[in-house]
């Protein structure tokens, strides 16, 4: 299953620090890890939330990855605010197992600064196959 995740600069740095192969542990106030099921949904969050906030340095990214289908089936897609806004809810304590089931590497599909897309590998077919 192909999944997407909107991330800020700090989270992307942590992903890069482990070779683009895993997501960092959640903070204590973050009990759920939620990858989303479409680029459009991830883009909306990265563009409208991450890249519009000073605490994110006005930068947001969309990353993509493949998750083992058998493992992904453990998580029921959740609707978040509208029919097309689907995400998986992964309990923070299961993130290590989730990371073990990522197939390949995590890639960067898009980047945003102050709400403006500055990298669009997704639209140019340079990623996300």
Q: Where do the domains of the chain lie? A: 2-120
| Residue-level pLDDT at 82 | 72
pTM: 0.89
CB-based contacts of 113: which residues, under 8 Å, 6+ apart? 51, 58, 59
| Residue-level pLDDT at 53 | 82
- Per DSSP, 36 falls in state B
Residue with tokens 């403006």: 116
Q: Is 99 helix (H, G, I), strand (E, B) or coil?
A: helix
Task: List the chain pLDDT tens, one digit each, 129 residues.
Answer: 999 999 999 999 999 999 999 999 999 999 999 999 999 999 999 999 889 888 878 899 999 999 999 999 999 999 987 777 999 999 999 999 999 999 999 999 999 999 988 877 655 555 665
Q: Name the nearest CA neighbour of 101 among 19, 14, 23.
A: 23
| Residue-level pLDDT at 129 | 54
Query: Token pair of 2, please?
Result: 């192909």
| Residue-level pLDDT at 126 | 57
* Other beta carbons within 10 Å of 129: 8
CA dihedral sign of residues 98, 99, 104, 108: positive
> Dihedrals φ, ψ of 14, to 5°?
-70, -35
| Residue-level pLDDT at 125 | 57
| Residue-level pLDDT at 84 | 77
Domain covering 2-120 in this structure, CATH number? 3.20.170
State how far the Cα of 53 lies from the Cα of 48, in Å rounded to an integer: 9
């Amino acid at each position: 299953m192909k999944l997407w995740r909107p991330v800020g600069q700090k989270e992307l740095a942590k992903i890069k620090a482990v070779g683009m192969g895993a997501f960092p542990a959640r903070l204590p106030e973050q009990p759920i890890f939620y990858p989303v099921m479409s680029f459009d949904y991830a883009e909306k969050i990265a563009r409208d939330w991450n890249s519009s906030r000073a605490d994110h340095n006005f930068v947001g990214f969309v990353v993509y990855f493949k998750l083992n289908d058998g493992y992904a089936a453990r998580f029921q897609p959740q609707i978040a605010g509208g029919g097309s806004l689907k995400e998986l809810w992964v309990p923070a304590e299961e993130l290590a197992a989730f990371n073990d089931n990522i197939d390949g590497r995590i890639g960067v599909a898009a980047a945003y600064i102050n709400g403006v897309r500055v990298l669009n590998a997704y639209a140019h077919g340079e990623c996300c196959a």
